[in-house]
Amino acid sequence: MGLIFRQLFESVSSTYTYILADEETKEAVIIDPVMETAERDAQLVEELGLTLKYAVNTHVHADHVTGTGELKKRIGGCKSVISKAAGAKADMFLNNGDKVEFGKYHLEARSTPGHTNGCMTYVLNDKSRAFTGDALLIRGCGRTDFQQGSPLTLYESVHTQILSLPQDCLLYPAHDYKGRTVTSVGEELKFNPRLTKSKEEFANIMNNLNLNYPKQIDRAVPANMMCGVFETPSVSQ
Ligand SMILES: N[C@@H](CCC(=O)N[C@@H](CSS)C(=O)NCC(=O)O)C(=O)O
Ligand SMILES: [Fe+2]
């Protein structure tokens, strides 16, 4: 009896949501659910016969509203989880090194600030998979121009907490904008165009990305500070 694993996609914000469960005990966690797809995810949890213990966010997302609150409404006993450093509302708060347990498995929470102060990467207990949120994206990384972002902090986080994992560890990000689904530590050590550079070159790249602000930022950040627990503001016209 092994691990149940599902990767789900929300196409408006290009967000990946992950469900992990112990096939034996059926205890499950969901990582980075999105409000608009919470019903779909709740249905899958039910169809697979899972007991959803935790709805976990990697950070206070700026580009979409978390599905945490919607899942809590639909699934009794499910607790919302985020890092203590995020400063957001939730049922359970994590510090570096804390464990999120489901059946015989657990996720180790590793603090990986730099995209936001409260970013956590979640590493499966056997180090075969890690869920990096926006700290590390496939051939990229999270932007550092808002939400307490810092290129030097992000560089340090990614190198010490993610790229130090075994080379065959699979890395699952919160987003991909080019249809990619997964990478590995070995691949990113070789091919990441930002993180293979020196710290100084990395900072220079990050300070000159010139990206537009996420379209949903004004609605998403306040709602996510409440971890989706309360009514969320409606979309501005
Ligand atoms: N166009 C999207 C937002 C795209 C974006 O800013 N993505 C973030 C992750 S969500 S906070 C990011 O860090 N991107 C880094 C990069 O290099 O693309 C929207 O309008 O929502
Ligand atoms: Fe983000």
pLDDT band at 237; cut points 50, 70, 90: very low
CA of 129 to the centre of ligand 1 (A): 23
Element (H, E) at 222: helix 217-225
CA of 73 to the centre of ligand 2 (A): 24
pLDDT above 80 for 127: yes
Q: Please indicate whether residue 13, judged by its CB atom, sits closer than 6 Å to ligand 1.
A: yes
Q: What is the pLDDT of residue 230?
A: 55
Q: Please indicate whether residue 134, judged by its CB atom, sits closer than 6 Å to ligand 1.
A: yes
pLDDT above 70 for 232: no
Query: What are the sequence ranges of the domains in the chain?
Result: 3-210
- Choose which residue among 63, 177, 209 to substitute to test ligand 1 binding: the one with the highest number of ligand atoms within 8 A of its C-beta: 63
How does pLDDT run across 203-224, given as a tens digit for each residue? 999 999 999 999 999 999 999 9
- Does ipTM top 0.90? yes
Contacts of 66 (CB under 8 A, 6+ apart): 32, 33, 34, 35, 55, 57, 223, 224, 227, 228
pTM comes to 0.96
For the CA of 177, the nearest atom of ligand 1? 18
Burial tier of 193 (Cβ tally within 10 Å: 0-12, 13-18, 19+): exposed
CA of 42 to the centre of ligand 1 (A): 26
pLDDT band at 229; cut points 50, 70, 90: low
How does pLDDT run across 19-78, given as a tens digit for each residue? 999 999 999 999 999 999 999 999 999 999 999 999 999 999 999 999 999 999 999 999
Q: What is the mean pLDDT of the chain?
A: 96
Architecture of domain 3-210: 4-Layer Sandwich (3.60)
Q: Please indicate whether residue 235, judged by its CB atom, sits closer than 6 Å to ligand 1.
A: no
Task: Give the integer Cα–Cα distance in Å for 195 and 198.
Answer: 8
pLDDT above 50 for 234: no
